[in-house]
Amino acid sequence: MSFSPANHCNLKLQKNPIKQPILANPTHFNSHQNQKPSNKKHQFPSFSIKASKTPQTPLTKNPDTPPLVVVGSANADIYVEIDRLPKEGETISAKTGQTLAGGKGANQAACGAKLSYPTYFVGQVGEDAHGRLITEALKNGGVNLDCVRNLSDAPTGHAVVMLQPDGQNSIIIVGGANMSCWPEKLSDEDLEVVRKAGVVLLQREIPDLVNIQVAKAARSAGVPVILDAGGMDAPMPPELLNAVDIFSPNESELARLTRMSTESFEQIGQAVVKCHKMGVKQVLVKLGAKGSALFIEGEKPIKQPIISAARVLDTTGAGDTFTAAFAVALVEGKTKEECMRFAAAAASLCVQVKGAIPSMPDRPSVLHLLQTV
């Protein structure tokens, strides 16, 4: 079983350049004055703490730039705003309700494109109104959808997001097309976009079997793979963990995977050691209000505090924004410290707007925030 010809993904960067917004007067953040230049062949507009006051010629993206490729889920997020969560057996009324495009994969792809980096999304939606809602949102955001399959025999995945006044949320996911009808074995042609990527992002809202094949294909081509732990509540296949370069859980996901307490930073460090023993050498832990920390085996942890938001309206998509922004900075050749700071700024802006994809910040906004903190 393979992708249908009508939706077959064939990456041709030169013939089909992704149309993205022109990035005028790009700025830089650089906490290392003597930073060594990246040896990457393809560079992208970067960022520095001291923005140049001299107007610069607007830059367009090089069509040969290896893209960010996100393989994952696409959901219609059904938002309901409530004062509190219902108790068992209780029915309560919501203040408002609306349906927006979302899903961890779609969120991360939208974020990559919003940050002006060439982005491909590989996923599945149903041939229904929710599917059209998602593909329209991604297309309008500049995401390349050549690798999206439309399924006639499975509905688009959706999620019920219960949003409380303090911006915190509880979410129930219905997998739908995200979990249905994937090929048992992806063909070499199907994986071409993965092998030509600059970085690959995965999550656990699609079958592990798909993620394993994608991760192995990327690794064989020397493409770094970041796995967001968010998604299904199921044991992590060692085969998957061994095939990724960076594993990114939040505190609760880390605790669930390792069956260890993550209440303190010391306990988090001990749980990460178990992850190292399971095969992944770099663990990027999202700590919510406490920021984030990157644990590289054999090295001192890199801590990044949050960049405070003026107000918190909705935390939905904040983790996806952080992960995608980190990936964009990484593929642009930034240091790990710079990647984490860029990601923290993006996440700070995300929580100030309701909705997942609608809240994804653009690059100028992120750079402006970095210059003010």
The beta-strand segments (E) located in 37-177 are: 68-71, 75-81, 96-102, 119-126, 144-151, 157-163, 169-174
Is residue 198 a known part of a binding site? no
Q: Is residue 346 within 8 Å of 322, Cβ to Cβ?
A: yes
Q: Is the dihedral of CA 273, 277, 282, 288 positive or negative?
A: negative
Q: Is residue 69 within 8 Å of 199, Cβ to Cβ?
A: yes
208 labelled catalytic: no
Is residue 76 a known part of a binding site? yes
Is residue 106 a known part of a binding site? yes
Burial class (CB in 10 A: 0-12, 13-18, 19+), 249: buried
CA separation for the pair 317, 11 (Å, rounded): 28
Is residue 291 a known part of a binding site? yes
Is residue 299 a known part of a binding site? no
Is residue 88 a known part of a binding site? no
Is residue 144 a known part of a binding site? no
- CA nearest to 339, candidates 304, 298, 368, 307: 304
Is residue 15 a known part of a binding site? no
Is residue 287 a known part of a binding site? yes
Active-site hit among 83, 208, 320, 362 = 320
Is residue 50 a known part of a binding site? no
DSSP, collapsed to helix, strand or coil, labels residue 311 as coil
Annotated binding site: which residue ranges?
Answer: 75-77, 103-107, 205, 250, 286-291, 314, 316, 319-320, 350, 353, 355, 359
Annotated binding site for K(+): which residue ranges?
Answer: 314, 316, 350, 353, 355, 359
Annotated binding site for substrate: which residue ranges?
Answer: 75-77, 103-107, 205, 320
Catalytic residues: 320
Annotated binding site for ATP: which residue ranges?
Answer: 250, 286-291, 319-320
